[in-house]
Amino acid sequence: MSQHRPPGAPERPVAVPALPDLPEATVARLPEYLRALHNLAENGHETVSSEWLATAAGVNSAKLRKDLSHLGSYGTRGVGYDVALLIDQIEYVLGLTQRRTVALVGVGNLGHALAGYDGFATRGFRIAALFDSDPVRVGEEINGLVVRHVDELSRVATEESIAIGVIATPAAAAQRVADRLVAGGVTSILNFAPCVLTVPDGVDVRKVDLAVELQILSFHEHRKASLTALPAAGEAPLTPLPGSLAATDPQEAIGT
Amino acid sequence: MSQHRPPGAPERPVAVPALPDLPEATVARLPEYLRALHNLAENGHETVSSEWLATAAGVNSAKLRKDLSHLGSYGTRGVGYDVALLIDQIEYVLGLTQRRTVALVGVGNLGHALAGYDGFATRGFRIAALFDSDPVRVGEEINGLVVRHVDELSRVATEESIAIGVIATPAAAAQRVADRLVAGGVTSILNFAPCVLTVPDGVDVRKVDLAVELQILSFHEHRKASLTALPAAGEAPLTPLPGSLAATDPQEAIGT
DNA sequence: CGCGATTTGTGCGTGTCTTCACAAGCGCTT
DNA sequence: AAGCGCTTGTGAAGACACGCACAAATCGCG
């Protein structure tokens, strides 16, 4: 993990105390709070109560307060939180005060969509390079960026100080791509390929698998169906399901 | 199927036991085990030890055993797990024995990619209908499916017994789409729009926000940078940070 | 038939996350 | 200035998840 932060660009050298080590669960929620706060700011709100912000972010208000308390107290009792201040705080903690460059590898079906997804740019990330191994795709221009061959990956990643690599290749290619990203100094990887990546210590990998999400939902569908099929049998079923008419699930198949 | 296990009576070994309520964390890992198992099956393996399967899935072996024990014991001590049997078990528990139909709403940048993503079909999900509100997109054919207008959503969802709705619209439209899905009897929603959905009890929502993933990675980048920048801040930094290469060593740190 | 090698299943200690409940603090009003 | 209503911040308890370590079970072999 070679830290290739250019020494000439120090981050916010002042104000904020040393970066606290937040619970992982808190970190995962901060972006959600941030999004809700931006909505509030656009609507002209200057302060917000924990109750309000919590519902906007879809969480319990006590949890929200505890989360925010981890970054130092920036609320005013009896009033709430200053929206603008809180935005600054969260953006600082998340490291969004400096725009991070992203390299996207694999410009297939999904990669193409990611390259054109404007949600990245609007939230502080700049896709700086695209890569693919297919010679047909190399050279193609997407959103003003030319697709380069994956052989250049390590070199370009180093040159452009890529902070985050996004892998949108087939599973078979993902590990090789990850190795090249690491070799290029990248220490954060977002993996869309359905496989487990092996990386050195100090490199963070997050995995997003769309089919996995569907499978988790499928489990809950299955469970709900089996609950309605077996009414009370010693165990109290949860709620009587208010509007569960629908008749979506005729009978759950049992065989293979 | 409405049989409930009578106390004392032995379970039918062939018929599947009553659906256990698994810990949520376990459910989230089962798809990963399933993927690894399919890989093993393709390579001709008939049994697998917990150690092997655990590394293939990127988890601790004790955790894997405990997860599997929740679905009833299907391993043989001294030998391991029967790959085919375990696949059947997990697929049953996840409700994948019956193919679930998916409706995809929003055929923009991301939605287009999802419609063409073959990872869904290969893992038991069939996209049965596409919807959009843009009249220009309505009528377009993608992968053999014609995009319908979102006004038809509720009706079609009911008619086609849609099990899962996928929302890939802008945030502003997502809640309206969710309402229509619910009205059409859909009880599971996968939401790609960056907003919180409000749904009745009994409806499950999972959210995937690509920008959030990047922001979480950004936090860790920030933390890593501040650690190397401020070596002595009262806390001892983790490892002395070995050289950047050392490509393949499975001492991996699981990023989740 | 018994023994050793192997691997599962799980009890238990530990740590993390969540939630409740309430004291402390702030501003507004009188 | 004092009181009051409102909201934050947090201690404590409960719920959940994790991983170790070991007993129980199974197979293969002599």
Q: A198, A159, A160: which is closest to A177 by C-alpha?
A: A198
Residue for token pair 């959030």: B212
How far is Cα B209 from Cα A213, in angstroms, rounded to an integer? 12
A98 touches strand D (CB under 7 A): no
Q: A23, A227, A56, A58: which is closest to B95 by C-alpha?
A: A227
Per-residue buried b or exposed e for B38-50, using 16+ beta carbons within 10 Å of the residue's own CB: ebbeeeeeebbbb
- pLDDT of res. A249: 38
pLDDT at A232 over 70: no
pLDDT tens digit sequence for A151-170: 999 999 999 999 999 999 99
CB atoms closer than 10 angstroms to residue B189? 24
Structural domain contains residue B216? no
Residue for token pair 């293939």: B56
Q: Are B168 and B178 in contact (CB under 8 A)?
A: no
Structural domain contains residue B245? no
pLDDT at B53 over 60: yes
A23 touches strand C (CB under 7 A): yes
Reading phi first (left if > 0) and then psi (alpha if -120 to 50, else beta), residue A229 is in: alpha
Mean pLDDT across A232-253 = 36
State whether B111 and B198 are in the same domain. Answer: yes
pLDDT at B72 over 60: yes
Q: Is B108 helix (H, G, I), strand (E, B) or coil?
A: coil
Mean pLDDT across A25-34 = 98
Structural domain contains residue A219? no
- pLDDT of res. B6: 37
Mean pLDDT across A120-137 = 94
Model confidence band, residue B231 (pLDDT cutoffs 50, 70, 90): low
What's the angle, vertex CA A197, arms to CA A191 and CA A203, rounded to 5? 80
State whether A35 and A76 are in the same domain. Answer: yes
State whether A32 and A80 are in the same domain. Answer: yes
pLDDT at A254 over 80: no
Cβ-proximal residues to A89 (8 Å cutoff; 6+ apart), any chain: A16, A71, A72, A74
Cβ-proximal residues to B47 (8 Å cutoff; 6+ apart), any chain: B76, B79, B80, B81, B82, B83
Range of the domain at A192: 100-210
Mean pLDDT across B154-182 = 98
Domain boundary among B38, B69, B93: B93
Model confidence band, residue A118 (pLDDT cutoffs 50, 70, 90): confident
Domain boundary among B93, B124, B147: B93
Interface test with A, best of B40, B98, B256 (most A CBs within 10 A): B98
Closest amino acid to nucleotide C28 (CA–C1'): A78
State whether B84 and B116 are in the same domain. Answer: no
Structural domain contains residue B240? no
A18 CB neighbours in chain B (<8 A) are: 226, 230, 233-234
CB atoms closer than 10 angstroms to residue A92? 18
State whether A201 and A143 are in the same domain. Answer: yes
Q: B193, B191, B190, B104: which is closest to B146 by C-alpha?
A: B104
pLDDT at A247 over 70: no
pLDDT at A12 over 60: no
- pLDDT of res. A20: 80
Q: Are A160 and A141 in contact (CB under 8 A)?
A: no
How far is Cα B250 from Cα B255, in angstroms, rounded to an integer? 13
Residue of B nearest to A235 (CA): B4
Mean pLDDT across A54-74 = 96
Report CB contact under 8 Å: B120, A211: yes
- pLDDT of res. A236: 37
Determine how β-strand A145-149 pairs with β-strand A125-132: parallel
State whether A81 and A176 are in the same domain. Answer: no
Q: What are the strands of the beta sheet with B80-82, ordered from one edge?
A: B47-48, B80-82, B75-76
State whether A124 and A152 are in the same domain. Answer: yes
B197: its two tokens? 């959905």
- Minimum distance, in Å, between the CA of residue B79 and any CA atom of chain A: 25
State whether B88 and B104 are in the same domain. Answer: no
Structural domain contains residue B17? no
Domain boundary among B93, B121, B138: B93
Name the DSSP class of B79. Answer: T
Q: What are the strands of the beta sheet with A80-82, ordered from one edge?
A: A47-48, A80-82, A75-76
Mean pLDDT across A234-246 = 34
State whether A139 and A188 are in the same domain. Answer: yes
How far is Cα B256 from Cα B216, in angstroms, rounded to an integer? 10
Q: How much of chain B exceeds pLDDT 70, in percent?
A: 82
How far is Cα A179 from Cα B164, in angstroms, rounded to an integer? 36
Q: Are B35 and B41 in contact (CB under 8 A)?
A: no
pLDDT tens digit sequence for B74-112: 999 999 999 999 999 999 999 999 999 999 999 999 999
Q: B157, B163, B202, B147: which is closest to B177 by C-alpha?
A: B157
State whether A82 and A115 are in the same domain. Answer: no
B87: its two tokens? 């696949």
> Which of B187, B210, B223 has the CB atom closest to A224's CB atom?
B187
Report CB contact under 8 Å: A209, B31: yes
Q: How much of chain A exceeds pLDDT 90, in percent?
A: 76
- pLDDT of res. A227: 79
How far is Cα A248 from Cα B160, in angstroms, rounded to an integer? 9
B249 CB neighbours in chain A (<8 A) are: 198, 200
- pLDDT of res. B17: 55
- pLDDT of res. A73: 84
Q: How much of chain A exceeds pLDDT 70, in percent?
A: 82
CATH number at residue B63: 1.10.10.10
Q: Are A151 and A177 in contact (CB under 8 A)?
A: no
Number of domains in chain B: 2
Structural domain contains residue A81? yes
Helices (H), chain B: 24-42, 50-57, 61-69, 83-93, 109-116, 118-121, 153-159, 171-183, 210-229
pLDDT at A200 over 50: yes
Structural domain contains residue A106? yes
Q: Name the β-bridge partners of A165.
A: A103, A189
Is B200 in the A-facing interface, judged by CB distances under 8 Å? Answer: yes
Is B144 in the A-facing interface, judged by CB distances under 8 Å? Answer: no
Structural domain contains residue B223? no
Half-sphere exposure for A158 (CA within 13 Å, toward CB) = 11
State whether B175 and B109 are in the same domain. Answer: yes
pLDDT at A180 over 60: yes
How far is Cα B256 from Cα B218, in angstroms, rounded to an integer? 14
Model confidence band, residue A230 (pLDDT cutoffs 50, 70, 90): low
A51 touches strand D (CB under 7 A): yes
Q: Are A50 and A75 in contact (CB under 8 A)?
A: yes
CATH number at residue A126: 3.40.50.720
State whether B204 and B151 are in the same domain. Answer: yes
